Structure 1
Amino acid sequence: MSNKRKVGLIYGGKSSEHEVSVHTALSVINAVDKARYEVLPIYIDVNGQWVQGPWIEHEITHVDELRFTLDNYETPNVFALNNTVDVVFPVIHGPNGEDGTLQGFLELIDVPYVGSGVLGSSVGMDKVMMKEVFGNAGLPQGKYKSYLRSELETNIEEICNGIEAEIGLPCFVKPANMGSSVGISKAKDRQGLEEALRFAARFDRKVIVEAFISGRELEIGVLGNEHPDTSVVGEIVSGNEFYDYEAKYKSDNTRLDIPANVPDDVVIRMKKLATQAFLALDCSGLSRVDFFWDEAEDELYINEINTMPGFTPFSMYPMLWNEAGVRYAELIDRLIAFGIERHEEKRANALVAEQFND
């Protein structure tokens, strides 16, 4: 019998970040230590169909090899995953992947998994709830307001009046539940604001409007569970007007400076604030925390936390840890260990409950 740990890799999904997820899966499969782990790829296609591929023991050369169909493979018995794998590594980005829904399912079938649990994932995905928690924790952030799609459909003129009065222009308009900068616009005037609100509402029933903060975009990685570590600080220098989907995945105008050229005291403050944000949302495993630094006023503002950040070797999160001395394969290894550790900690609660029922 093999002593290798069996890892179920769930990827794909129905969100607009499907392709990002497949590329992440390719990177993880090729980097994981094959002497220690067996990888079972479980693909969710754009229609939500689950397809289980074969156990992978070799290098995959192209993402197309990971887009399985039921013509060639089978639908997995997902309710028996806890009998099939030792741990699940979910690398689905966006809704139905990093928003707590998949995490809740994995909790129900009692299988260890990498990353934050239901609470941290769902709050981290919903930018409005995330900012509410940040505010309650005393973390510095810019002004914001949120609206439902139904409100925008019936009352957009009054809403725009309120935004101009309370937030001001320019401002950023975003879907509340979406990742990879999908659906984001920078509104500079009244017409642009109305267009941005309608555009964001195409992606989610809830829209958030954030005040424009003039500052440098800094990011830091968090790794661990109850006593997490933080990485070096990185800076995004975008040739686009802001770091949108185009700049993130398609443009050659974006530069990632790792480590960022910032004063030591800024790094120290970011490490403290990022850890506070991670713990405030009850996150675990991994997160990337994004900030704006107003260099003239020396003020840091937390922008958001991403509980399942881009995870190819060329994504910001792994690159930050690589600079800190944690290589990609080791990062995967640590995350698997943290996922199992968190599961064992939760199982200790069940043992206590059983004692009370005796």
Structure 2
Amino acid sequence: MNKLNVALIFGGKSGEHEVSLSSAASIYENINKDKYNVFTIGITKEGTWLYYDGNAENIKNGKWVELANKNVEINLVPMGNKEVGLLFEDGSIQKIDVLFPVLHGPYGEDGTIQGLFEISQIPYVGCGVLASSTGMDKLICKTIYSEIGLPQVNYCSTNRWTFRQNQEEELNEIESKLNYPIFVKPANLGSSVGISKVTNREELLSGINEALIYDSRIVLEQGIDAREIEVAVLGNDEVKASIAGEIKPAKDFYDYEDKYINGASTYDIPAKISEADMEKIRTMAIKAFKSLDGKGLSRVDFFIDKYSGEIFINEINTLPGFTNISMYPKMWEATGLEYSNLIDKLIELALDTKK
């Protein structure tokens, strides 16, 4: 059987660049190289695309930039007689069968690079342009979830221009709608980058200014004392949900450092919740995924109020982390789908979208 040529694409210009490197290194180590020829393509923080033919460790530690073969041309745009693929110095062209993006945050999972993949006409892993762009935008997602009846905590929003024009008015408006503690989040970012939990007006101002570094639009959510539950979904038309897991943050909430650096938080897979709540959460996760026309994969996050037991959808991540401590592969492994088989399934789903 001929091997498929898979291009693993990582890095990118977003604040989640380092997360992407860790995810890509993990996938590279676990992908079945008896089935696939793997070509690794990195995007620097400045946006330069480079072909790197090396090991996972140098992807993870960032040395791939200096070790990249800068004479290989990466062409994903059909132009005249120029073929799509990797163009090597000797004039040979390496065709790519499947693109496997492991790009988190803006320019990677927000629909922008998915648009390029559509132009290339090469099948790619994960959600398409629509699901990626809407899934990345917390405000748009909240509107959609409200429309389809998925419960959410109370929230409001502001933006850079309005906040800087009317700072006191905006702070007053937020405090009239929400009680402390409040979570402040950039509308378009993931991996808990730029998120803060605030307990007074001074912290609210600081949290908004921090979030505005990453985005011009801000989501403010009512903080509740809640359990953090996550579930992985997989599929195109037929969508399945893994068993749910519960994150037990080492801090006030599951932040960037805890997710990708120190791994101090603990987790339960499966989550210690009732069978009824488990099925309800899995059903809600599939509903959320389908409402965005999701394809391939996503991780959907929920809250369970510790006092009332109410379940709220938090957000969807259309390109979740794939590091060795990431919940997405761990939840599927606990459901019976091993890491390398999960990669196989994602590639299969990518190919299926082009049939």
TM-score (norm 1): 0.91
* Match 1:189 to one of 178, 194, 200: 200
Report deviation, 1:258. Answer: 1.0
Letter in 2 for 1:77: N
- 1:169 maps to 2:169: no
Change (3 A) 1:114 1:20: same
Partner of 2:45: 46
**1:44-123 pair list within 5 angstroms:** 44-54=43-53, 60-62=56-58, 63-64=60-61, 67-69=64-66, 72-74=69-71, 75-79=73-77, 80-81=84-85, 84-123=95-134
Partner of 2:289: 278
Q: What's the % identity of the aligned pairs?
A: 44
* Partner Cα distance (2:218, 2:349) in 1: 33
Report deviation, 1:253. Answer: 3.1
Report deviation, 1:295. Answer: 3.6
Letter in 1 for 2:336: G
**1:339-358 pair list within 5 angstroms:** 339-344=350-355
Partner of 2:89: none
Letter in 2 for 1:254: S
Partner of 2:91: none
- 1:336 maps to 2:336: no
Change (3 A) 1:71 1:52: closer
Residue pair 2:232, 2:297 contacting (<8 A) in 1 also: yes
Residue pair 1:171, 1:211 contacting (<8 A) in 2 also: yes
RMSD, aligned α-carbons: 1.7
| Stretch moving more, 305-314 or 41-50 | 305-314
Partner of 1:24: 23
Partner of 1:209: 220
* Match 1:198 to one of 200, 206, 209: 209
Q: Deviations over 1:23-49 (max 9, x none)?
A: 111111111111110011111011100
Report deviation, 1:294. Answer: 1.4
Unaligned runs of 5+ in 1: 345-358
More helix by share: 1
Letter in 2 for 1:92: L
Unaligned runs of 5+ in 2: 78-83, 87-93
* Match 1:137 to one of 121, 135, 148: 148
* Partner Cα distance (1:250, 1:15) in 2: 17
* Partner Cα distance (1:97, 1:81) in 2: 19
Report deviation, 1:10. Answer: 0.7
**SS at 2:151 equivalent:** coil
Change (3 A) 1:202 1:49: same
Letter in 2 for 1:160: L
**SS at 1:46 equivalent:** coil
Change (3 A) 1:70 1:151: farther
Partner of 2:12: 13
**SS at 2:353 equivalent:** helix
Residue pair 1:225, 1:283 contacting (<8 A) in 2 also: yes
* Partner Cα distance (1:252, 1:69) in 2: 29
**1:302-317 pair list within 5 angstroms:** 302-317=313-328
Residue pair 1:51, 1:76 contacting (<8 A) in 2 also: yes
Partner of 2:298: 287
* Partner Cα distance (2:342, 2:9) in 1: 18
- 1:239 maps to 2:262: no
Change (3 A) 1:51 1:182: same
TM-score (norm 2): 0.92
**SS at 1:232 equivalent:** coil
**SS at 2:231 equivalent:** strand
Residue pair 2:182, 2:199 contacting (<8 A) in 1 also: yes
Change (3 A) 1:71 1:237: closer
Q: Deviations over 1:96-118 (max 9, x none)?
A: 00000000110011110000000
Partner of 1:350: none
4+ residue runs of structure 1 moved beyond 4 angstroms? Answer: none
Partner of 1:4: 3
Q: Deviations over 1:288-329 (max 9, x none)?
A: 000000143221000000000011232100000000010000
Q: Deviations over 1:309-353 (max 9, x none)?
A: 011232100000000010000000000000111122xxxxxxxxx
